[in-house]
Structures are given as structure tokens and as C-alpha cells.
Amino acid sequence: MIKKLLLLLISLVLIPIIAYNGFKHYQESQKIEQFINENGWSKKPPTWDLAIEISDTIRHQMNTQSATFIHVDRVPEPFLSYSCLDILDWMEGTCGKGARVLVKVLTKCGFDATRISLYGKGFGNSTSHTLVSIIINGEEYFIDTVNAPEGFNDMVRNHQLNTKKLNIASYINRRGSAENSHDSITTAFQNKFCMYNYEAIQLSKVMKLAGLDVWVFNMKRPPATISNLVESIYLIHVIFLSTIWIVLNLLWLVLFRFKTQKRKK
């Protein structure tokens, strides 16, 4: 009896929490649509020029000076980072936060967009940068986020750099498998960044939570639905909590049926 009541109580408590996260996800969708409409992007086709325009707008509006942050880094950051709703409200943060907004906005505008981290030879935060990868007519292109080094944004867009031009390496043997470059800019890019990670499936973050501080490089580009879901914090909460709610109710039904059968015997 106590187990059944406990399961029922937890199930009832989860309902308003699920509803709250569902409402916040709706608010986030509305906020993104408002941002798109305010900038006149809603009726434009998903082209390279539109992607650059969206990237520039976010870069110009977002405060990346950490010393002046009011919310980011002063509010404890959740495991999945801040939501796009929060970042659009605050308009402050570094490349990872900028990538979240950029992916959500680009996706809403019809792009296949996903975040991607580039890693230098040091494999540390100081040698990494988060961009966004988009697909246009079957070809991949990088779109810069925020707080990039001087001249980096121009280098990425002017030379339409992508993973094919990266000097992909293994942990042990850093043999390049990129396309042979014929210009100094692409060569410099290959020398600076040796590895990349599509972070829609954040394996490194999950393993760090499990106590394994290692880098995991998943080389296959994730589907657009997965990329968009990972950036939708409230929707993830809804799915996770709803799954728990369903399991609890199934357990409650099993216990109820078991007790009923026992009485009949």
C-alpha cells in the first residue's frame, strides 16, 4: 500500500513540473519566432547569405565580455547549459551560448544546422572554438558564432571552410586526412585546428559527468532533429520527466494488478 501511494504521489508531483517545462518550451519557440520576425528573416529562403546575416546579427547583439556579464557565469550553469530562451533574454555569453542561439534560429529558418567544436593541438579550452555547421545544397559550411579571434570570422566565411579542410588526426598519430590545400589561408586553418567534434551528441560532457575526463570525437554529422533537440533544454526535460512519469504509472498498475490477483487467490 505504501509503495503504491508513494508512486502515485511522485507521479502527481511530476505533472505540474512537466507542464511548466512544456510552457517554457512554448515560450522559447515564441521568442525565437519573434527574434526572426524582428529581423525580417521569416520569408527568406535558407541561403548562404541569410546564414551570414543571422550570424552577424547575433555576433553584433551579443555581449561577449565576461567581466561585464550580469547573468551568465553569475548564475549556476545547469548540466545542459542555459536555454536559448535565457540567452536571448540576456544576450550575453561566449561561443557555446552563441552556438545554441544560432542553431535554433537557423533551424527555424529552414537550415540543417548543428554545433561543432574545433580543437587545436593543445586539446584544451584555450585552443578550442565552437562554430555551427550548416548544409546547403548537400555541401557543408561553417558559420562563426561569437568571440572568435581577430580575423577568424572573415577567414571562415571568405574561404567557406568545413570539415573536409580540417587536418583530422587520431589521438596517437596526427596524420592529416583533409583535402590538399592550395592556399595559405586553408593551410593556416588546418595547422591551427587538428580535430573536430559534432557536439549534438555530447559524449565528452556525459563521460565527464561519469568521472571520465576525456575527449570523445564523434566524426559523423548528427541528423537535424537530434541537433535541434539537444539545443531544446525544456523539451529534453519534458521528454525525460514524461518517461519517468510513464514508468511510474506502469509500476503502479503492475503493483495494483499483482495485489488484486493475490486477493482473488
Phi then psi dihedrals of residue 88, to 5 deg: -65, -35
pTM given for the model: 0.83
Q: What is the pLDDT confidence band of residue 171, given thresholds at 50, 70 and 90?
A: very low
> 172 or 93, which is more confident?
93
Q: Which residues have a Cβ under 8 Å from the Cβ of 199 and sit 6 or more positions away?
A: 114, 115, 116, 117, 130, 230
User: What's the gap between Cα 37 and its chain centre?
Assistant: 22
Instruction: Using the structure block, give the residue that is written with the C-alpha cell 593543445.
Output: 122
**Assigned C-alpha cell, 226:** 537530434
> 238 or 264, which is more confident?
238
Helix, strand, coil proportions of the chain in percent (round to 5)?
Answer: 55, 10, 35
Q: Return the closest-CA partner of residue 187 out of 197, 178, 174.
A: 178
Distance in angstroms (rounded) separating the CA atoms of residues 129 and 235: 26
Taken in order of first residue, the domains within the chain and their CATH numbers are: 1-37+234-265 (no CATH), 39-231 (3.10.620)
- 202-220 mean pLDDT: 70
CA distance to 10, 75, 244, 246, per residue, from 23 (Å): 20, 22, 19, 20
Confidence at residue 123, expressed as pLDDT on a 0 to 100 scale:
47
DSSP structure string for 1-57: -HHHHHHHHHHHHHHHHHHHHHHHHHHHHHHHHHHHHHTT-TTS---HHHHHHHHHH
Q: What is the pLDDT confidence band of residue 185, given thresholds at 50, 70 and 90?
A: low
Phi then psi dihedrals of residue 162, to 5 deg: -155, -175
pLDDT value at 263 more than 50: yes
pLDDT value at 265 more than 90: no
Q: What is the pLDDT confidence band of residue 249, given thresholds at 50, 70 and 90?
A: confident
Q: What percent of the chain has pLDDT over 70?
A: 76
**Assigned C-alpha cell, 40:** 525580417
Q: What is the pLDDT confidence band of residue 127, given thresholds at 50, 70 and 90?
A: low
